[in-house]
């Protein structure tokens, strides 16, 4: 049976969304799929968002049927709005930001490590499994809404951060397949999806707003992460085309940091009144602060806004305290804290890591998004000087506050000669849902007409090769990096990596260190680097291949060359081929696979 | 299978099998049918009350005596309760005015109007069309999405069933 819908899934760090569009209708509108979820114990409600939180309940709660939903009995955990609420009150039992763990190659992402630092009696989950649970919930929502169109038979597009490297992409895909998404699930970068949503809204009119030579900065500030992408507008055979030319690194700073900063600020005001807040009240405060932020930081926003914390317990009115926040102070806190004026040459501050650091998510020490953008534009431009965007496309609920949008444009414009030198991309910016909607739209236009963003791989990839030569005691053998995937290698293509043969041991797994770079764009496949700047290449999971020893084979080594393929679905496949035998062995990410799968 | 074939097989089996003959003579009512979907074991009214308490503290607010507080103190509380109750109403019911015309303005009531959507007051004589002033624009729900209670049957059978709890007691450990 052929697909009837294109389904877009935004598996977010803090919120997930699913949208769809029927394939058999011209100009059909992209619609959100309601997501039934636990909003309180034993209470199921459909919402447009699925908060990406997972609460691992106590045995008593499970036995009382608190997490039962959709016919499941004695379920042990809850996903969604209820879990998000629990995150503040019972943090040790709640998984948050599983997605940020998914791209953290310092930990084994198939091992049950979440919630990070949870006590021993909590049955932990791996980042992959938590992601799978979120996707299962979204798949169940699809099934409830469209019982006659199984998800596995639809055209499904799953979005991920542009900054995800090959191994994080593969882990996401693994979670997706385990959750029942079709084998042919397409992976799409979130900032591109946001632009597709804009294209879907604009229809053919988009050509009136962009011209050849324009360069678009997609600035996607989610709950916990900031994702940057540059897309160029070019002309080819008289047609306008879009090409993704650069993506930023994974930056762990987002809207939640701003709400948290404001809540801290307000909590200090409460402390002056002698009020200390418990966790429940802190959540309420966080919520009130977000409302106040959006009200105050808009054009003609009030100069003052009361933030109230209701009394705990059933004596509510008596315990209610409010403080007045001033627009000026809040604007200063958020604008200077997150969008400070800075020079294009500025780099994010990297405070020296303390000698003893508890391992956890690598949160940014510098919350200045403008400095991260400056560093991104400078690094991407390389020797030709910083890349200059002509337009900005905003994404993420943070940008509902007009003052933040305006400040960002001011700072970026200021780098290139004034505020007027950069424009907001005109048209509808659906800040909350555009990624899922754009993904659904992409699935629909992918096969037919409609403009597509080209780009290929967002990174170049390298295999680390130890140099031959005598070992020097105490010194690490220098490693050279062989470029196996050049930047921008297109989906649906494959190539042999030219260069010298490499000898691989047979009968035992051969390990390779694996690196990627978002800034080295000119390295061709086969290029061998002996030196590079530390920040240029980042190491990801190692790869391995096991070559069986053929019968009667005497040599312990076989000469091989690398072969690389990027599938239409955006999956990177690396293999090595024996130059003599022509046999091929696939290289796998050697993330340990012994993690228990529940 | 054709029904004719089935009828013959049933005929033969009635002759051979006394128990089967009994079943045909007195079919057990509804036994073969799948059980109808279980009705939620909790009233929607309680669930709605529980949502309003959880998200907007409405029950706490209404159960507390106002006599010992001044208006400013009450006002501070009301703003939050009002905002959060409003959000729940919007999400679950999406209330819209029945009549989109401005309140206080002239309003014509056509012949054959729907009496459940427009209520007449004052000097109501004769037959429509009527002319008058719109005193209240009315409200109608454009959806009704009360959350579903998924609690277990066991819990509902307890002496003090879980489904009656609007807000649990809270203990911080």
Do A51 and A165 belong together in one domain?
yes
Do A13 and A34 belong together in one domain?
yes
- Would you say residue B85 lies in a domain? yes
The alpha carbon of residue A314 is apart from the nearest alpha carbon of chain B, in Å, by 5
| CATH number of A183's domain | 3.30.420.40
B88 CB neighbours in chain A (<8 A) are: none
Do A311 and A373 belong together in one domain?
no
Q: What angle do CA A387, A392, A393 make, to 5 degrees?
A: 130
Higher pLDDT, A201 or B89: B89
Question: Largest Cα–Cα distance of chain B, in whole Å?
Answer: 87
A168-177, A473-482, B118-127, B134-143: segment of lowest average pLDDT:
A473-482
- Would you say residue A544 lies in a domain? yes
- Would you say residue A468 lies in a domain? yes
Segments forming the whole domain that contains residue A569: 460-589
| Calpha distance A131→A11 (Å, rounded) | 8
Q: What is the chain B residue with the closest CA to A323?
A: B76
Do A246 and A169 belong together in one domain?
no
Do A301 and A428 belong together in one domain?
no
pLDDT tens for each residue of A100-153: 888 877 788 888 988 887 888 888 999 999 999 999 999 999 999 999 999 999
Q: What is the chain A residue with the closest CA to B66?
A: A317
Q: What is the pLDDT, as a whole number, of residue B27?
A: 55
Q: What is the pLDDT, as a whole number, of residue B22?
A: 65
Q: What is the pLDDT, as a whole number, of residue A385?
A: 86
A278 CB neighbours in chain B (<8 A) are: 172
- Quick check: A358 pLDDT over 60? no
Do A369 and A248 belong together in one domain?
yes
| CATH number of A283's domain | 3.90.640.10
Selected residue of B145, B150, B168 to mutate for chain A interface (largest A Cβ count, 10 A): B150
Do A423 and A509 belong together in one domain?
no
Do A75 and A120 belong together in one domain?
yes
Instruction: Give just the sign of the alpha carbon dihedral A456, A178, A164, A543.
Output: negative
The answer to whether residues A115 and A95 touch, using CB atoms and an 8 Å cutoff, is yes
Q: What is the pLDDT, as a whole number, of residue A174?
A: 94
| Calpha distance A157→A159 (Å, rounded) | 7
pLDDT tens for each residue of A499-539: 888 877 777 777 888 898 888 888 999 998 888 888 888 88
Which has the closest alpha carbon to A15: A230, A364, A254, A251? A254
Could you tell me which residues are beta bridge partners of residue A584?
A577
Higher pLDDT, A67 or B163: A67
Q: Report DSSP state, residue A399.
A: G
Cα dihedral angle (A104, A106, A109, A115), rounded to 10 degrees?
A: -80
A42 CB neighbours in chain B (<8 A) are: 149-152, 155, 162
The answer to whether residues A127 and A69 touch, using CB atoms and an 8 Å cutoff, is no
- Would you say residue B123 lies in a domain? no
Do A387 and A519 belong together in one domain?
no
pTM of the model: 0.84
| Calpha distance A526→A465 (Å, rounded) | 12
CA A238 to the chain's CA centroid: 35
Count of structural domains, chain A: 4
The dihedral region occupied by A13, where left means phi > 0, alpha psi between -120 and 50, and beta the remainder, is alpha
**Residue that the structure tokens 């943090």 belong to:** A91
| Calpha distance A125→A101 (Å, rounded) | 12
The answer to whether residues A433 and A19 touch, using CB atoms and an 8 Å cutoff, is yes
A310 CB neighbours in chain B (<8 A) are: 57, 60, 77, 80-81
Count of structural domains, chain B: 1
The answer to whether residues A336 and A404 touch, using CB atoms and an 8 Å cutoff, is no
Do A33 and A116 belong together in one domain?
yes
Q: What is the pLDDT, as a whole number, of residue A476?
A: 64
pLDDT tens for each residue of B3-57: 777 777 777 777 777 666 766 666 544 444 444 445 557 888 999 999 999 999 9
Q: Report DSSP state, residue A356.
A: S
Segments forming the whole domain that contains residue B56: 42-110+136-147
Q: B107 CB contacts (<8 Å, ≥6 apart)?
A: B99, B101, B131, B132, B133, B134
CA atoms within 13 A on the CB side of A94: 19
- Indicate the residue of B51, B80, B151 with minimum beta-carbon distance to A310: B80
Q: What is the pLDDT, as a whole number, of residue A354?
A: 44
Do A380 and A414 belong together in one domain?
yes
A39 touches chain B (CB under 8 A): yes
- Would you say residue B51 lies in a domain? yes
| Calpha distance A375→A398 (Å, rounded) | 21
């Amino acid at each position: 049976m052929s697909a009837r819908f294109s389904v877009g899934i935004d598996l977010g760090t803090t919120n997930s969304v699913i949208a769809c569009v029927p394939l058999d209708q011209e100009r059909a509108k992209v619609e959100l799929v309601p997501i039934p979820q636990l909003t309180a114990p034993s209470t199921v409600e459909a919402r447009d968002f699925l908060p990406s939180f997972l609460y691992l309940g106590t045995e008593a709660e499970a036995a009382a049927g608190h997490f039962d939903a959709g016919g499941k009995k004695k379920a042990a955990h809850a996903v969604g709005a209820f879990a998000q609420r629990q995150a503040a009150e019972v943090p040790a039992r709640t998984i948050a930001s599983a997605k940020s763990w998914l791209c953290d190659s310092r930990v084994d992402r198939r091992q049950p490590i979440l919630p990070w630092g949870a006590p021993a009696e909590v049955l932990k989950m791996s980042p992959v499994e938590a992601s799978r649970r979120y996707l299962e919930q979204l798949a169940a929502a699809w099934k409830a809404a469209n019982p006659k169109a199984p998800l596995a038979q639809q055209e499904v597009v799953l979005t991920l951060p542009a900054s995800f490297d090959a191994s994080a992409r593969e882990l996401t895909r693994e979670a997706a397949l385990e959750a029942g998404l079709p084998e042919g699930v397409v992976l799409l970068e979130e900032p591109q999806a946001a632009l597709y949503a804009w294209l879907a809204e604009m229809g053919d009119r988009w050509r009136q707003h962009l011209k050849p030579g324009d360069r678009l900065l997609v600035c996607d500030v989610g709950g916990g992460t900031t994702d940057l992408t540059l897309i160029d507008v070019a002309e080819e055979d008289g047609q306008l085309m879009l090409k993704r030319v650069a993506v930023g690194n994974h930056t762990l700073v987002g809207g939640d940091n701003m709400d948290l900063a404001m809540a801290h600020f307000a909590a200090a005001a409460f402390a002056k009144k002698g009020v200390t807040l418990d966790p429940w009240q802190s959540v309420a405060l966080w919520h009130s602060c977000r409302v106040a932020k959006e009200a105050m930081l808009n054009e003609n926003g009030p100069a003052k806004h009361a933030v109230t914390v209701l009394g705990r317990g059933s004596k509510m009115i008596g315990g209610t305290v409010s403080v007045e926040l001033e627009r000026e102070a809040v604007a200063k806190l958020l604008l200077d804290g997150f969008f400070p004026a800075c020079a294009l040459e500025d780099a994010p501050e990297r405070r020296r890591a303390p000698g003893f650091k508890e391992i956890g998510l690598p949160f940014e020490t510098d919350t200045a998004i403008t400095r991260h953008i400056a560093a991104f534009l400078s690094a991407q431009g390389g020797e030709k000087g910083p890349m200059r965007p002509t337009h900005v496309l905003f994404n993420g609920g943070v940008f509902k506050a007009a003052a933040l949008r305006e400040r960002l444009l001011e700072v970026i414009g200021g780098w290139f000669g004034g505020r007027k030198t950069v424009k907001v991309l005109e048209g509808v910016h659906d800040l909350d849902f555009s990624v899922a909607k754009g993904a659904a739209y992409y699935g629909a236009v992918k096969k037919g007409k409609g403009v597509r963003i080209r780009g290929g791989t967002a990174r170049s990839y390298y295999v680390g090769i130890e140099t031959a030569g005598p070992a020097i005691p105490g010194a690490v053998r220098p490693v050279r990096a062989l470029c196996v995937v050049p930047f921008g290698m297109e989906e649906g293509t494959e190539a042999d990596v030219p260069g010298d043969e490499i000898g691989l041991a047979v009968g035992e797994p051969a390990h390779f260190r694996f690196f990627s770079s978002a800034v080295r764009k000119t390295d061709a496949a086969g290029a061998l680097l002996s030196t590079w700047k530390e920040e240029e290449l980042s190491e990801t999971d190692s790869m391995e291949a096991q070559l069986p020893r053929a019968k009667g084979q005497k040599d312990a080594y076989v000469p091989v060359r690398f072969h690389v393929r990027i599938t239409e679905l955006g999956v990177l496949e690396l293999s090595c081929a024996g130059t003599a035998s022509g046999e091929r062995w696939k290289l796998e990410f050697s993330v340990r696979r012994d993690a228990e799968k529940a | 299978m054709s029904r004719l074939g089935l009828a013959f097989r049933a005929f033969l089996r009635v002759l051979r099998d006394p128990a089967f003959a009994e079943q045909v003579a007195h079919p057990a009512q509804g036994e073969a049918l799948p059980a109808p979907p279980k009705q939620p074991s909790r009233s929607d009214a309680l669930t709605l009350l529980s949502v309003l308490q959880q998200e907007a503290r409405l029950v706490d607010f209404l159960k507390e005596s106002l006599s010992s507080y001044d208006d400013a103190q009450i006002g501070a509380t009301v703003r939050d309760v009002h905002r959060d109750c409003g959000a729940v109403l919007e999400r679950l019911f999406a209330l819209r005015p029945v009549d989109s015309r401005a309140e206080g303005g002239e309003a014509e009531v056509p012949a054959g109007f729907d009496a459940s959507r427009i209520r007449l007051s004052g000097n109501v004589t004769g037959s429509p069309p009527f002319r008058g002033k719109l005193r209240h624009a009315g409200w109608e729900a454009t959806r009704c999405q009360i959350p579903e209670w998924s609690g277990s049957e066991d819990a509902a059978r307890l002496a003090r069933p879980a489904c009656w709890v609007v807000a649990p007691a809270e203990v911080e450990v």
